[in-house]
Amino acid sequence: MQVDGSAFCGGTLIDRKWVLTAFHCVGSGKRDIKDLRIRIGSRGTSEGGTLAKVKEMVKHPDASFTDGLFSGPDLVLLSLDRPVRHKLVRLNTVSPRTGTAVRALVWGNTCRDATCMPEHLQEITLPVSKKKDNLLVLKDRAFRGVGPGDSGGPLVVKKKGKWRLAGVTSTNGMREDHALSNFVDVAGYRDWIDKVVTHTR
């Protein structure tokens, strides 16, 4: 996702007209959806693929912003101004088990102590450490994981040779001995996602 050509969050094309991303990326009201642009089908932030506008924003009904802090499921669906012809990512049907290898596809900062924003899509594969509430948690003692600018991007898992969307990048943090990456587990929200997407076709 971009504003004035500057990328700030990721997302996943789950339908010809719908992108799933993190609520906190757009739900604070600081960004007008009329200014949002979504580059789809490109591994670069500045060229290629389709640059679409956002027509509508549908947040999860339990998601909210209060005093600058979000709560509830960190999910929002963005309706595009027109259908796009790019590969869709299907939703995962069940939560990945602890130890399952999952892959985060992200655009954010690649440096720990500086700002290093990549021009091309980055990826990292790590095992699921645990599931906590509605989150898939990844811990890594080599301090690898998601960071600033990665929010909203997909966490995918391979099922029978095909990639499925397992999670949406939400929050991250550093502990004394590991990095912590949290993703909303989309399997638990399939009914809501399907209802929104199907209702508006």
pLDDT digits 0-9 by tens, 93-105: 999 999 999 999 9
Assessment of whether the complete model's pTM goes beyond 0.85:
yes
pLDDT averaged over every residue in the chain? 90
pLDDT digits 0-9 by tens, 62-78: 999 887 788 999 999 99
- Find all residues with CB under 8 Å of 34, minimum gap 6, and list them: 53, 54
d(CA 48, CA 148): 23
d(CA 188, CA 185): 6
CA 191 to chain centre: 18
Instruction: Supply φ then ψ for residue 193, to 5 degrees.
Output: -60, -50
How does pLDDT run along the chain (201 residues), one tens digit per residue? Answer: 888 877 789 999 999 999 999 999 998 777 788 899 999 998 877 788 899 999 999 999 999 988 778 899 999 999 999 999 999 999 999 999 999 999 999 876 666 665 666 677 888 999 999 999 899 999 999 888 898 788 999 999 999 999 999 999 999 888 888 889 999 999 999 999 999 999 866
pLDDT digits 0-9 by tens, 6-32: 778 999 999 999 999 999 999 877 778
Give all strands of the β-sheet with 2-3 in edge-to-edge order. Answer: 6-7, 2-3, 36-40, 50-59, 76-80, 18-21, 12-15
